[in-house]
Amino acid sequence: MRQIPIFFRGLGGDGIIRTKIEIPGSYNGQAGVFEYIIEPDGVTVNHRLFQPNR
């Protein structure tokens, strides 16, 4: 499993560029990736998700 966070910058359907961060980790004993999408203000998080590995 990768050990460092991955950062993506992407253009949303509304024309706003946001930052997506993927951080490897585990939740309730299951390995996976935590995903966050950060708004352009650099403070607001509009998406939080734990995606388990398959």
For residues 6 and 14, what is the distance between their CA atoms, to the nearest angstrom? 23
Instruction: Quote the pLDDT of residue 3.
Output: 73
Residue 7 reports pLDDT greater than 80? yes
pLDDT band at 5 (very low <50, low <70, confident <90, very high): confident
For residues 43 and 54, what is the distance between their CA atoms, to the nearest angstrom? 31
Give the residue extent of every domain in the chain. 6-52
Pull the structure tokens for residue 46. 């509009």
Mean pLDDT value of segment 18-22: 95
For residues 23 and 3, what is the distance between their CA atoms, to the nearest angstrom? 8
- Helix ranges, the chain (H): none
